Amino acid sequence: MLRLQNLKKQYKTGDLALKGVDLEVPDGQIMALIGPSGAGKSTLIRCINRLVEPTGGKVFLNELELSNLGAGALRRARRRMGMIFQEYALVERLSVMENVLSGRLGYVGFWRSYLRKYPQSDVDEAFRLLGRVGLDHMVDKRADELSGGQRQRVGICRALAQDPELLLVDEPTASLDPKTSRQIMRLICELCKERKLSAIINIHDVMLAQMFAERIVGLKLGEIVYDGPPDGLTSDVLTEIYGEEDWEATIRKVDEDENGESEGEADGHLAPILDRDRMAGAT
């Protein structure tokens, strides 16, 4: 279980990115964090594994307080939190296999990692993960030879190679086309279910959030303004989070979409996007 207590972050420029966030994520829950750009979503998940240092408040992973760990203990704690990035953040010039194995860096010593002498069990696990996401034929390709969706799947494998109990996912679909976005979201959620991981997924696509998350938290200007189930996202709530806009089309489309989803995959995808564009043009 992840628990944030009065988490605050003020940047050196004086911007208050998080204004005391309290949040609990139980084990195995997939939570989507939505909100407009600049609401503090990225800052929030980076404060959890301290890629960004919080300026106030506490973070607990199970009973371990992350916010006051020393460098070594923090590295050990980071192993338990896999992170997936918007632009994949693969090391472009390394092979797919090396990228996945880099998820094990926290577990192996410097020379073993430098000489690429990972334990056989790590290598086996990496092959299994790549097989699971359908990339086992690409292990020796260089990361920059892959397409966006393939790269993100490698990114997922890297995060899972850490053997985490929590996934921090930062805009996983922002650089992907609509169809690939759904496949990636589905994959992340399936893998979380399989491994009983909890996940915090930053996402600005409300429809995708509603489709895949069990719980939605809306962040606005560093404060939580909504915390509830996906179907509780009414027009008023979205207005509260994002500001005044005609939300009816967005909400209605989701319902239709979920029905379409169970029948077949490829067809229903473009329709809501087109609708949304049309809506944006009309308002």
Q: Can you give the binding site for another protein, defined by CB under 8 A?
A: 49, 51, 75-79, 81-83, 85, 87, 89-94, 98, 102-107, 110, 113-114, 155, 158, 162, 168
Shortest Cβ 14–another protein spacing (Å): 21
Residue among 87 and 245 whose Cβ is closer to another protein = 87
Residue with Cβ nearer another protein (81 or 130): 81
Using the minimum distance from each CB to another protein, give the nearer residue, 13 or 262. 13
State the nearest-atom distance from the C-beta of 132 to another protein, in Å: 19
Give 170 or 257: the residue with its C-beta nearer to another protein.
170
Instruction: Compare residues 167 and 213 and give the one whose CB is closer to another protein.
Output: 167
Bridge partners (DSSP) listed for residue 240: none
CB of 163 to another protein, least distance (A): 11
At closest approach, how far in Å is the CB of 50 from another protein?
A: 10
CB of 135 to another protein, least distance (A): 18
Token code pair at residue 20 = 């005391």
Q: How far is the CB of 189 from another protein (least distance, A)?
A: 21
Task: Indicate the residue among 135 and 211 with the shorter CB distance to another protein.
Answer: 135
